[in-house]
A and B are shown apart, each in its own frame.
Chain A
């Protein structure tokens, strides 16, 4: 193209539709596209691909299951999904039992709760001989105790009395190895002998037989730590934040008015896991009535009911 090609390009930009002075299209003009039909075979091919794509998706995609799509948060999380056996299963069991039984008060971090439960992390009691340590969950604790250089006045129910030897061994082993504690593991056989040693201190059947049912019931009341929430004399008054019952754990001195024996035993056995809330949008009240059925024996329950009935103040009588 002799002359000034730049001028021609510029002109074609300025007015593309204007006929040029030449009779033929300029060889360097913009190409134009004309409409053309998509071939039918291409549409069919696309449909077939879509069809097989759908089948592939159905078979291999996992249907948006998060287990397929979401990555694991960490290697620990991935490990937690693996089936366990032997020592790993024992350790996992200990942690599970701890979280469901001990952790409510002593905390998942083993640091305890001020005024309620002493820490287990760094506690010298955790490192003590097995009988001293196992006595706590098996027989409960009452009164003053020094833990990690701090004085506590405690009341702990025998929370472990209902656990199997295997579970108790697992949870004590977990406590002895967690949060920086470094004491030896405990076996199921050791728990068995510790349990036998501790039960030697309990009142004998002959001693119990000499007591009246309310007296025996009082021992049951102490043994299972009922007083922790209902007070030493069953008069209640322990704070239970956001509970509908005036934010208190109820008093027991009038149960003789409100329950017959069958109703009372049924209630204690069943417990009340969900405490109605004062403010429905507020937090869950910290204390609830545990399910004592299967933990307290039938005879003990009967004695306990007699003790509770005996609490009613003399001369306090309603006229209906």
Chain B
């Protein structure tokens, strides 16, 4: 009897695990597993950025970023994202801005983009350097110019 009972317990746990696995697999239908895992990993990270050392002029941009982007997803998603190049942020911010009902105007989108490009060049410097090194010469020059542009605009203000 004892043995039988414990085998039941194993059977029960196996069933529960199988159900959880099936549930997870079903959730994956909506997104490929790699993308889902990537986004979830981002969202587990910190949800705020310490901007006390950033130019004061960037504070409005940060507020705008916090307010607009949280309409649809957690702020930790972009904050911890592996996007870091200006070209990536430019594309991504435009993609979000063009969603119907985003309520992000083109000037606001630009402010959000500038904040993200500036923030990445400081906070994700290592990742930026790695990605820059992997780019073609033309793309690399374009991204470097954009980083310089946003620093010229905000540094010391």
What distance in Å separates the Cβ of A249 from its nearest Cβ neighbour in chain B? 8
Q: What residue in chain A is nearest B29 (Cβ atoms)?
A: A273
Most buried by A among B95, B96, B100: B100
What mask results when residues 282 to 320 of chain A are scored 1 for a CB within 8 Å of chain B, else 0? 000000000000000000000000000000000000111
Given contacts A270-B31, A270-B32, A274-B30, are A257 and B98 in contact (CB under 8 A)? yes
Q: A260 vs B95: C-alpha distance in the bound complex, in angstroms?
A: 11
CB contact under 8 A between A320 and B110, given known A257-B95, A258-B95? yes
- Residues 249-281 of A, flagged 1 when their CB comes within 8 A of B and 0 if not, give 011001001111001000000101110100000
The contact of B98 among A254, A276, A320, by CB within 8 Å, is A254
CA of A58 to CA of B1 in the docked complex: distance in angstroms? 9
* Given A258-B91, A274-B30, A319-B110, also A245-B100 (CB < 8 A): yes
Q: Are B91 and A250 in contact (CB under 8 A)?
A: no
Inter-subunit contact A320/B90 (CB<8 Å) = yes
B interface SS class? helix
- Residue of chain B at shortest CB distance from A276: B72
Assembly CA distance A184 to B98 (angstroms)? 50
CB distance from A288 to the nearest CB of B (A): 9
* B91 & A259 in contact (Cβ 8 Å cutoff): yes
B100 touching A54, Cβ below 8 Å = no
Interface centre among A258, A274, A319 (most CB of B within 10 A): A258
Contact A245 B101 (CB under 8 A): yes
Give A274's nearest chain B residue, CB to CB: B30
Residue of A nearest to B150 (CB): A320
A197 within 8 A of partner (CB): no
State the Cβ distance, B88 to closest chain A Cβ, in Å: 9
Residue in contact with A54 in the complex, picked from B1, B29, B30, B90, CB distance below 8 Å: B1
Contact with A along B38-61 (1 / 0, CB 8 A): 000000000000000000000000
Q: How many Å lie between the Cα of A54 and that of B32 in the bound state?
A: 48
B114 at the interface (CB under 8 A from A): yes
Asked if A246 and B101 make an inter-chain contact with CB atoms under 8 angstroms apart, the answer reads yes
Residues of B within 8 A of A250 (CB): 98-100
Residue of B nearest to A317 (CB): B106
Residues in B whose Cβ lies below 8 Å from that of A318: 94, 106, 109-110
Q: Would you list 19 pairs from A and B whose C-beta atoms are within 8 A, ordered by A residue?
A: A58-B4, A236-B100, A244-B101, A245-B100, A246-B101, A251-B98, A257-B95, A257-B98, A258-B95, A259-B95, A263-B91, A270-B32, A273-B29, A274-B30, A318-B94, A318-B106, A319-B110, A320-B113, A320-B114
Given contact pairs A246-B101, A257-B91, a sample of 4 additional A-B residue pairs in the complex whose CB atoms are under 8 Å apart: A244-B101, A246-B100, A250-B98, A254-B98
A interface residues (Cβ-Cβ under 8 A, vs B): 54-55, 58, 63, 236, 244-248, 250-251, 254, 257-260, 263, 270, 272-274, 276, 318-320
